[in-house]
Amino acid sequence: MNIFVINSGSSSIKYQLFKMPSSAPVCIGLVERIGLENAVITYKTTINGQDFSISQTLEIPDHKTALKEVNRLLTDRETGVIQNPNDIEIVGHRIVHGGEDFTTTTIITPEVKKKLKNTFQLAPLHNPSAYRGIEVAEKIFAKATHIAVFDTAFFQTLPAEAFRYAIPKSYYTDYNIRVYGFHGTSHKYVSNETNKYLNKPDAKHITIHLGNGCSMSAIKAGKAIDTSMGFGPLDGLIMGTRSGNIDPTVIFYLVNQLGFDVNQISNLLNKQSGMLGLTGFSDMRDITKALNEGNADAKLAYQMYAYRIKKYIGAYAAALNGLDAIVFTAGVGENDALIRKMVCAEMDYLNIKLNEEANQKREKGIRDLSATESKVKILVVPTNEELEIAKQCFDLVERGRITS
C-alpha cells in the first residue's frame, strides 16, 4: 500500500513515501523557503540499487506550487517512484493540534475539515499551514484517502490530575483550557521502539525529545501519563528560542512595569528566549562551539538546559513509581553527548549511571549508553515521525475502518 506522508509547515513541506508494511521509505524529500526567494526542493530515492539525490532551487510561491513540484519528482520518468498521482492510496497529514475534538488518527472529511478550522487558534503557527497542505494534496492526490495524525492525540491518556490546570473549572469545560502536550508522534514512536528493545510491554520510561523544540513524557505500558508541554508548546524545558517554564508573575511585571503588550511578550518568550536569549545562538552546535572556546554564557546555558531536564526526570520517576529507562531522541538528544552526560551526572539515587565511552560513539539505530551497574537503561532511540504517521494510517486501514 502506497502511503504518502506530508508534514506541512508555514514555509516548508517534509514528505516521505512508504510502501507499507515495509518501514523503509521509497523516497524522502523536503521543500524549504516556500514563499521566499531561492526556495529549495530536495528528493532522494534508490532505484534498482542506484541512489538518486536531487536538489533544485526554484520559485515556489505557495504550498500548491510546492506539492505540484513534489508530484513532478515522484512521477519523473527516470527517477520517479510512481507512474501517476493515483498510485498514492493513502496520504497521511501531520497535524500539530487536535484540541479535544480529535483524540485518534482520523479520516479527513468535510466535517473534519470544518472542525480543524476551530483548532487554528490553538496552534496558529502550525495548524493553518497543515490545513493548506490538506487542501492542496486533496486536489493532487484526488483518488487517495486522506488521514490526519495528531501530535496531541498521544497525550489523551493523561489523567485529569495531570492535564487540568488549577483555575476555575469553567475555563476547562467552556474553553477547553488544559494540558494537551506536543511532539506526541515522536514520543509514541520512541516509546514503542523502547518497549520492543527492552522486550517489556509494561515498561516505565521517560522519553526526552530534544531539538529546537524540547519536551519530555512519562510513559507507562505505552501510555503517556504526563508531559512537559502544556496548553501550547511554550511550557516545560528550555528550548532553542522558547523560555520553557517561567513564573507568570514575570509576565505581569513586563506588562505593568515595562509596558509590554501581548505580541511583545509572545515574541519574547517564543522567539527571543531559551538558548538564544541566554547565549545569542539557538543552534546547539553553535553553543557547543562557544562553550569549547570558554564562553561563560554558553556554559551556564548548558547547565540550565540539563538541570531542567534532570528536574523533570525526578518528577516523572515519582509519578511512574519506578523507572526502567530514560530515552534521548531528536536532533540534540541523539547527537549531543555532552548534554546526555550532564543530564545523567549525579543521578545515583535513581540508579542512573552512564557509560561514558559508549556515550561518545556515534552509531545508527538504538544505542544503550548504560553503565553495567546502572539499574535504569539509558537509551538513544532515533525518532521517525514520518514512519509513525505511516504506521498509524496503515493500522487504521488494517483495522477495517476504511478500505483502500
Mind telling me the catalytic residues?
151
Report how far residue 206's alpha carbon sits from residue 236's, in angstroms, rounded to the nearest whole number.
14
Instruction: Write out the H or E segment, with its range, that includes residue 357.
Output: helix 356-360
Q: Is 137 exposed, middle or buried (0-12, 13-18, 19+ CB in 10 A)?
A: buried
DSSP 76-103: -TTT-S-SSGGG--EEEEEES--TTT--
Question: Are 213 and 242 contacting, i.e. CB atoms less than 8 angstroms apart?
Answer: yes
Residue count (the chain): 404
Contact 250, 256 (CB under 8 A): no
In angstroms, the CA 165 to CA 123 distance is 19
Cα dihedral 308/311/312/315 (nearest 10): -160
344 grid coordinates: 545523567
CB atoms under 10 Å from CB of 11, counted, come to: 16
